[in-house]
Chain A
Amino acid sequence: MTLTLDAKIPSGPLTDKWNNHRFELKLVNPNNKRKFKIIVVGSGLAGASAAASLAELGYEVEVFTFHDSPRRAHSIAAQGGINAAKNYQNDGDSVFRLFYDTVKGGDFRSREANVYRLAELSGDIIDQATAQGVPFAREYGGLLANRSFGGAQVSRTFYARGQTGQQLLLGAYQSLANQIREGSVTLYNKMEMLELVVEDGRTVGIICRDLISGEISAHAAHAVVLATGGYGNVYYLSTNAMNSNATAIWRAHRKGAAFANPCYTQIHPTCIPASDEFQSKLTLMSESLRNDGRIWVPKAYDDNRPPGEIPEAERDYYLERKYPAFGNLVPRDVASRNAKLVVDEGRGVGPLKNGVYLDFADAITRDGRDTIEAKYGNLFDMYQRITAEDPYDLPMRIYPATHYTMGGLWVDYDLMSTIPGLFVLGEANFSDHGANRLGASALMQGLADGYFVIPYTIGGYLSTFLGQPPLPTEHEAFENARRAVEERTRTFLSTKGTRSVDYYHKELGKLVWDNIGMARNRTGLEKAIAEIPALREEFHSNVRVLGSGDSLNSSLEKAGRVADFFELAELMARDALHREESCGGHFREEHQTAEGEARRDDENFSYVAAWEWKGPDTPQELVKEPLTFEHVELTQRSYK
Chain B
Amino acid sequence: MHITLKVWRQTGPDATGRFETYEAPDISPEMSFLEMLDLVNERLIEAGREPIEFDSDCREGICGTCGLMINGQAHGPQRATATCQLHMREFSDGEHITVEPWRAAAFPIVKDLVVNRAALDRIVEAGGFITARVGSAPDANLIPVPKESADAAMDAAACIGCGACVAACPNSAAQLFTAAKVQHLNLLPQGQAQRWSRTQEMVETMELFFGSCTNYGECHEACPKEISLDFIAMMNRDYVKAMLTNRQRDGQKKVG
Contacts and interface: CB of A to CB of B under 8 A. Distances in A.
Q: Do chains A and B make direct contact within the complex (CB under 8 angstroms)?
A: yes
B13 to A, nearest CB: 9
Given A53-B134, A126-B140, A127-B140, A212 B110 contact: yes
B143 A130 contact: yes
Interface in A377-405: 382, 385-386, 388
A215 to B, nearest CB: 14
B49 A546 contact: yes
Given A180-B125, A280-B59, A385 B45 contact: no
Interface stretch (A160-168, A319-327, A411-419, A567-575): A160-168
Contacts of B11: 551
Interface stretch (A7-15, A141-149, A297-305, A367-375): A141-149
A553 B63 CA distance: 21
A135 B42 contact: no
Interface residues of A, number: 81
Interface stretch (A171-179, A287-295, A577-585): A171-179
* Chain B interface, >50% SS class: loop
Interface string A128-151: 111111011111111110000000
Contacts, number: 212
Contacts of A53: 134
A131 B146 CA distance: 15
Given A128-B134, A142-B145, A181 B125 contact: yes
Given A131-B138, A386-B85, A67 B65 contact: yes
A123 to B, nearest CB: 8
Contacts of A639: none
Contact of B28 (A163, A174, A276): A276
A502 to B, nearest CB: 6
Contacts of A135: 150-151, 153-154, 157, 184, 188
A388 B29 CA distance: 10
A76 B62 contact: yes
Interface stretch (B116-124, B230-238, B240-248): B116-124
A142 B129 contact: no
Nearest to A277: B28
Contacts of B39: 278
A281 B59 contact: yes
A243 B141 contact: no
B250 interface: no
Contacts of A129: 140
A138 B39 CA distance: 45
Contacts of B5: none
Contacts of B134: 49, 52-53, 56, 128, 175, 451-452, 455
A500 B132 contact: no
A544 B45 contact: yes
Contacts of A86: 140
A278 B34 CA distance: 10
A69 B138 contact: no
Interface string A492-523: 00000000101100000000000000000000
Given A56-B134, A177-B124, A546-B50, A280 B34 contact: yes
Interface in A39-72: 49, 52-53, 56, 67-72
B218 interface: no
Contact of B59 (A143, A178, A242, A554): A242
Nearest to A71: B161
Q: Which of A49, A71, A133, A143 has the most CB of B within 10 A?
A: A133
A139 to B, nearest CB: 7
Contact of A241 (B59, B139, B146): B59
B25 to A, nearest CB: 14
Interface in B95-134: 110-111, 114, 116-118, 120-121, 124-134
B125 A177 contact: yes
A177 B128 contact: yes
Interface string B153-190: 11001101100000000000000000000001100101
A555 interface: yes
Nearest to A550: B12
Contact of A133 (B55, B81, B158, B185): B185
A359 B234 CA distance: 43
Contacts of A56: 133-134
Contacts of B93: none
Given A86-B140, A144-B141, A280 B32 contact: yes
24 contacts: A69-B121, A72-B57, A73-B63, A129-B140, A131-B190, A133-B129, A133-B130, A133-B153, A133-B184, A138-B147, A140-B147, A144-B140, A163-B158, A166-B157, A166-B160, A241-B57, A276-B31, A278-B35, A278-B39, A283-B59, A452-B134, A547-B50, A551-B12, A554-B53
Given A72-B57, A72-B63, A242-B56, 10 more contacts: A70-B121, A76-B58, A135-B184, A166-B157, A173-B124, A177-B129, A181-B127, A451-B134, A455-B134, A552-B111
Task: Give the top 10 A-B pairs by smallest Cβ distance, nearest first.
Answer: A142-B144, A131-B137, A174-B129, A131-B132, A275-B30, A130-B140, A135-B154, A127-B137, A178-B129, A552-B111
